[in-house]
A = this chain, B = another copy of it.
Amino acid sequence: MNFLEQYRQYKSLIEAELENLSYSRQAPIEVYQPLDYMLAIGGKRLRPVMTLAACEAFGGDVQKAILPALGIEVFHNFTLIHDDIMDNAPIRRGKPTVHQKWNTNVGILSGDMMLIKAYELVCSVDAVQLPKVLRVFNNTATKVCEGQQMDMDFEEKDTVTVADYLQMIEAKTAVLLGGALQVGALIAGADEQDAENMYCFGCKIGSAFQVKDDWLDTFGDEQKVGKRIGGDIAEGKNTFLMIKTRELASEMQRSELYHIYHNGHNDQEKIQSVMNLYHQLNISEITLDEINRLYQEAMEALHTVCIAEDKKQFFKEFAEFLIYRDF
């Protein structure tokens, strides 16, 4: 079975079980409806798929990993609901966000409920693995919240360094991919060091994925990415590209950057001018180099894991899929 077939098989296990959850059958319906709504909007299900794959790679019973994997997906969706409130985002995956469709209070409370349901699902692991799995899940959840706080702090700063930024994206998005893999490995009874190495693999590849996201927003193909290119520039977002540019810019380029955002330019002018700076400073290549560096680190972590090479194939292809995608 090739990578994509295998991925789809794991994903369909997840989708089938997600439908079974159907929280809205419970009262009071107002607090449960948003859970089903968010979970039905879909997505790539990267994280729970990785839990199943890691469990199987270490010789575990995939069936036993399904509910905990859902727990990780439910956790991810809880963060989306609350982040969307904090970021004032009206749309998520083409649909109204929860606080937009209902209201902020519903968003807060159903998010809380979703976090509790995430724990409930994770708690379904066998008693013997429960303490370890919960330790990973608690640490991961903590880091995700820390990452969201860093992200909010960074919005008000223009002194963010590349190192700060990488730390933030690792916490906010990458550790959950790492945690998903680690939990899957632990459910299979993997050695703790191996499980930890799977976590590192997930963190690095998750960070690479996020930096690639930044790159695609500026240098991607509008047709393939499926959204207008340059959105991050227009919004003046602190991306890897922008932060690197600030680091490398000469005095004159820095002042040019300042004027681009403070002289009432329209979006198209901003995008054009910042792209010029990016070209002058070789930002596209530097960013692709960074993605490659993270990818190599991920591969090193995977290399140290003590499982047969053929079991690693799925994760290698997954990493390549995330890094070389153009959408």
* Chain A residues within CB distance 8 Å of chain B: 27-28, 30-31, 82, 85-86, 105, 108-109, 111-113, 115-117, 119-120, 123, 127, 130-131, 134-135, 138, 141-142, 145-146, 148-150, 152-153
- A164 to nearest B CB, angstroms? 11
Closest Cβ neighbor of A145 among chain B residues: B113
Q: How far is the CA of A312 from the CA of B301 in the complex (A)?
A: 56
Q: How far is the CA of A232 from the CA of B85 in the complex (A)?
A: 31
Instruction: Assess whether B113 is in contact with A123, with CB atoms less than 8 Å apart.
Output: no
CB-CB under 8 A for A30 and B109, given A116-B138, A116-B141, A119-B138: no
Out of B30, B82, B131, name the residue touching A112 (CB < 8 Å).
B82
- A119 to nearest B CB, angstroms? 6
Q: How far is the CA of A26 from the CA of B143 in the complex (A)?
A: 11
Instruction: Assess whether A30 is in contact with B149, with CB atoms less than 8 Å apart.
Output: yes
Q: How far is the CA of A86 from the CA of B105 in the complex (A)?
A: 5
A85-B108, A86-B109 given; name 13 further pairs at CB < 8 Å.
A28-B149, A30-B149, A31-B146, A31-B148, A31-B149, A108-B108, A109-B148, A109-B149, A111-B112, A112-B112, A123-B134, A123-B138, A127-B127
Instruction: Assess whether A113 is in contact with B142, with CB atoms less than 8 Å apart.
Output: yes
Q: How far is the CA of A117 from the CA of B117 in the complex (A)?
A: 16
- A144 to nearest B CB, angstroms? 9
Instruction: Assess whether A146 is in contact with B28, with CB atoms less than 8 Å apart.
Output: yes
* Copies of this chain in its oligomeric complex: 2
Chain A, interface SS category: helix
Q: How far is the CA of A153 from the CA of B28 in the complex (A)?
A: 9
Instruction: Assess whether A127 is in contact with B131, with CB atoms less than 8 Å apart.
Output: yes
Chain B contacts for A112, CB-based, 8 A: 82, 111-112, 115, 145
Instruction: Assess whether A145 is in contact with B31, with CB atoms less than 8 Å apart.
Output: yes
- A87 to nearest B CB, angstroms? 9
Closest Cβ neighbor of A148 among chain B residues: B109
Chain B contacts for A120, CB-based, 8 A: 138, 142
Instruction: Assess whether A145 is in contact with B130, with CB atoms less than 8 Å apart.
Output: no
Chain B contacts for A109, CB-based, 8 A: 82, 86, 145, 148-149, 152
- A123 to nearest B CB, angstroms? 5
Q: How far is the CA of A113 from the CA of B153 in the complex (A)?
A: 16
Instruction: Assess whether A150 is in contact with B105, with CB atoms less than 8 Å apart.
Output: no
